[in-house]
């Protein structure tokens, strides 16, 4: 993060504060949850919603939803119950890291909004620091009684969970699939309804596409310039296809069999067969270039999230619009290495990310804050969010079934992908581990053997987390 006189200048303080808080989270700052029944019968209540959204700026649709729907509708509902509620909206429109710094410092000092939006990947970090607490610790038994949990798949609930406890409710999520160009597939003699069942079948399709002039068969993000897109769109879904996770049983996965198999797959794509473009992985804007290639019919397959469909190749306002998107673009689930080899014995796998909301454990009104959380995650509220901000995958199956019925890709991800998806570990050190994985993919994409790249990754991982039992044998 850049150093300046604003929030960016607090990054070092935040890092130190998180470490100190994790070592002593029972001290005065960063409460672990108080009396869930506090002010439960209050008839005058003030609640604050904090979000990284602002009218006319970042996430403006989300800001509009809170201002135009959530606040007036919830206020009116509470008025009917004899409660005078004032809801304040603390808008922000800053870089995600600056926003993270702000809310972390608020929580550490016992301040901050009552309902706070956070990135799901921050959940474990904030939980370990004692900044947030399990919802049941904050709001009591009412949390477990909410019928909305039945509509949120367990895999999706992971986005806002830590140590098997729910710290928040997911706001939205996504999923990764393999996109492919149906026209190119037809020219290569491949089926329009293609669904690979193994990595070998992906490679076979890539070899068929390689016979077409001017076409790059396959893009699997690799290297450091691609950043987290390498890890989330490439390495981690493939690792899930080996039955392994990067963090499991309180240890990081080192140079395991699965890690080596993933790196070997990268080597096959970017090695002698040249089924992908290794130089593209080294470009600073390589991911954007891959989008342009796919949109122009020069790339046969790529693994991406629904972001590609919604915001990149969308014929209505996409950054690389495809006027014939709905006719030409197909999609398939990401297969395990072979049938049954994936996590939980699955045939197909995916990875997801997303944001969510937590209740500040320092709130003066825990029951009313929980009521507001339930309201914001009700079918009616989420439907209103879609009407204001456009189609998106919500955490609720019942909402997705109606709201996404007219969008086949989004419905496919909601129905077929989310039940089998997995999430990144929400731990503070994860970003460094992610870079180590990116380095390993860069190495094999440049000719290093999978075994050597895995060994180098193991060494780098030991330098990050130590070798004292933090890495699985």
Q: Give residue for tokens 């140590």.
A: 163
Q: Which residues contact 20 (CB under 8 A, 6 or more apart)?
A: none
User: For 293-393, where are the E strands, in sequence order?
Assistant: 299-305, 329-332, 334-335, 348-352, 354-359
pLDDT classification of 28: cutoffs 50, 70, 90: very low
139 near 387, Cβ under 8 Å?
no
Q: Which of 277, 273, 284, 336 is nearest to 302 (CA)?
A: 277
Strand partners of residue 350: 421
Q: For position 33, what pLDDT does the model report?
A: 59
- Kindly state the tokens that stand for 364: 């003066």
The CA distance from 446 to 302, in Å, is: 19
Q: For position 16, what pLDDT does the model report?
A: 45
Q: Are residues 446 and 302 in the same domain?
A: yes
Q: Is the pLDDT at 458 greater than 70, yes or no?
A: yes
202 inside domain: yes
The CA distance from 201 to 455, in Å, is: 28
Q: Are residues 196 and 260 in the same domain?
A: yes
Q: Are residues 161 and 188 in the same domain?
A: no
448 inside domain: yes
| Number of domains within the chain | 2
Q: What is the CATH number of the domain that holds 412?
A: 3.40.190.10
54 near 14, Cβ under 8 Å?
no
Q: Which residues contact 71 (CB under 8 A, 6 or more apart)?
A: 87, 89
Q: Are residues 295 and 387 in the same domain?
A: no
Q: Which of 337, 330, 348 is nearest to 419 (CA)?
A: 348
99 near 355, Cβ under 8 Å?
no
39 inside domain: no
Q: For position 59, what pLDDT does the model report?
A: 86
Q: Are residues 194 and 112 in the same domain?
A: no
The CA distance from 185 to 181, in Å, is: 6
Q: Are residues 206 and 236 in the same domain?
A: yes
243 inside domain: yes
The CA distance from 95 to 192, in Å, is: 41
Q: Is the pLDDT at 189 greater than 50, yes or no?
A: yes
28 inside domain: no
Q: For position 226, what pLDDT does the model report?
A: 93
Q: Is the pLDDT at 115 greater than 60, yes or no?
A: yes
Q: Give the three-state DSSP class for 102.
A: helix
Q: Are residues 339 and 244 in the same domain?
A: yes
**Least-confidence region, from 13-27, 112-126, 240-254, 267-281:** 13-27
pTM for this prediction = 0.82
**Angle between the 450-465 and 430-445 helix axes, to the nearest 10 degrees?**
160
Average pLDDT over residues 126-136: 95
**Least-confidence region, from 18-32, 73-87, 383-397, 457-471:** 18-32
Q: Are residues 329 and 464 in the same domain?
A: yes
Q: For position 354, what pLDDT does the model report?
A: 87
The CA distance from 47 to 309, in Å, is: 37
**Least-confidence region, from 4-13, 141-150, 321-330, 456-465:** 4-13
Q: Are residues 412 and 453 in the same domain?
A: no
Q: Beta 176-181 vs 329-332: how paired, if at all? A: antiparallel
Cα angle 298, 303, 306; round to 5: 105
368 near 38, Cβ under 8 Å?
no
Q: Which residues contact 233 (CB under 8 A, 6 or more apart)?
A: 176, 220, 221, 226, 303, 304, 305, 351
Q: Kindly report the average pLDDT of the chain as a whole number.
A: 91
Average pLDDT over residues 383-406: 90
Q: For position 470, what pLDDT does the model report?
A: 87
Q: Give the three-state DSSP class for 356.
A: strand
Q: Give the three-state DSSP class for 163.
A: coil
Backbone φ, ψ for residue 438 (5° rounding): -60, -40
Q: Are residues 200 and 54 in the same domain?
A: no
238 inside domain: yes
Q: Which of 423, 441, 457 is the last residue of a domain?
A: 423
What is the dihedral sign for C-alpha 21, 24, 27, 32? positive
Give the structural domain span for 415.
Answer: 44-170+354-423
Q: Which of 91, 75, 44, 457 is nearest to 239 (CA)?
A: 457
Q: Is the pLDDT at 4 greater than 50, yes or no?
A: no
Q: Are residues 219 and 341 in the same domain?
A: yes
**Least-confidence region, from 31-40, 45-54, 79-88, 96-105:** 31-40
The CA distance from 263 to 246, in Å, is: 14
pLDDT classification of 25: cutoffs 50, 70, 90: very low
Tell me: the pLDDT tens digits for 292-344?
A: 999 999 999 999 999 999 889 999 888 899 999 999 999 999 999 999 999 99
The CA distance from 203 to 183, in Å, is: 18
Q: Is the pLDDT at 36 greater than 70, yes or no?
A: yes
What percent of the chain clears pLDDT 90, i.e. is strictly above it?
A: 81
The CA distance from 202 to 188, in Å, is: 14
155 near 420, Cβ under 8 Å?
yes
Q: What is the DSSP letter of 407?
A: -
Average pLDDT over residues 381-405: 91
What separation in angstroms does the CA of 415 have from each of 103, 151, 463?
Answer: 34, 12, 41
Q: Are residues 213 and 315 in the same domain?
A: yes
pLDDT classification of 12: cutoffs 50, 70, 90: very low
32 inside domain: no
21 inside domain: no
pLDDT classification of 390: cutoffs 50, 70, 90: confident
The CA distance from 311 to 292, in Å, is: 13
The CA distance from 247 to 264, in Å, is: 20
Q: Is the pLDDT at 29 greater than 60, yes or no?
A: no
């Amino acid at each position: 993060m850049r150093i300046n006189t604003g929030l960016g200048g607090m990054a070092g303080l935040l890092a130190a504060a998180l470490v100190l808080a994790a070592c002593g989270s029972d001290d005065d700052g960063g409460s672990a949850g108080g009396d869930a029944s506090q002010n439960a019968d209050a008839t005058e209540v003030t609640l604050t919603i904090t979000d990284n959204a602002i009218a006319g700026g970042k996430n403006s649709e989300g800001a509009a939803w809170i201002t135009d729907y959530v606040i007036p509708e919830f206020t009116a509902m509470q008025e009917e119950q004899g409660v005078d509620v004032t809801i304040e909206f603390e808008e922000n429109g800053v870089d995600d890291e600056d926003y993270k710094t702000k809310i972390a410092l608020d929580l550490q000092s016992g301040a901050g909004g009552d309902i706070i939006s956070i990135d799901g990947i921050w959940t474990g970090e904030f939980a370990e620091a004692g900044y947030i607490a399990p919802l049941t610790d904050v709001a009591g038994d009412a949390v477990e009684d909410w019928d909305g949990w039945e509509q949120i798949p367990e895999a999706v609930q992971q986005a806002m969970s830590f140590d098997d406890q729910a710290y928040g409710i997911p706001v939205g999520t996504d999923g990764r699939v393999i996109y492919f160009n149906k026209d190119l597939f037809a020219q290569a003699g491949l089926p329009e309804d293609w669904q690979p069942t193994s990595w070998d079948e992906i490679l076979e399709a890539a070899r068929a596409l390689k016979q077409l002039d001017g076409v790059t068969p396959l893009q699997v993000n690799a290297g450091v310039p691609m950043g987290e897109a390498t890890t989330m769109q490439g390495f981690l879904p493939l690792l899930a296809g080996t039955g392994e996770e990067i963090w499991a049983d309180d240890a990081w996965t080192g140079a395991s069999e699965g890690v080596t198999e993933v790196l070997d797959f990268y080597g096959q794509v970017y090695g002698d067969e040249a089924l992908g473009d290794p130089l593209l992985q080294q470009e600073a804007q390589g991911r954007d270039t891959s989008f342009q290639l796919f949109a122009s019919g020069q790339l046969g397959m790529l693994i991406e999230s629904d972001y590609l469909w919604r915001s990149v190749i969308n014929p209505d306002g996409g950054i690389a619009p495809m006027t014939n998107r709905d006719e030409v673009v197909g999609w398939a689930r990401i297969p395990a290495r072979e049938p049954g080899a994936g996590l939980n014995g699955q045939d197909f796998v995916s990875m997801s990310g997303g944001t969510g909301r937590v209740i500040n454990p320092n709130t003066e009104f825990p029951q009313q804050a929980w009521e507001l959380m339930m309201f914001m995650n009700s079918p009616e509220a989420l439907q209103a969010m879609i009407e204001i901000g456009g189609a998106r995958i919500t955490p609720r199956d019942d909402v997705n079934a109606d709201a996404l019925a007219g969008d086949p890709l989004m419905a496919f991800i909601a129905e077929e992908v989310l039940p089998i998806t997995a999430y990144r570990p929400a731990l503070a050190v994860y970003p460094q581990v992610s870079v180590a994985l990116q380095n390993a993919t860069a190495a094999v994409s440049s000719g290093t053997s999978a075994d050597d790249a895995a060994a180098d990754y193991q060494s780098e991982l030991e330098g990050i987390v130590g070798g004292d039992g933090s890495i699985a044998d």
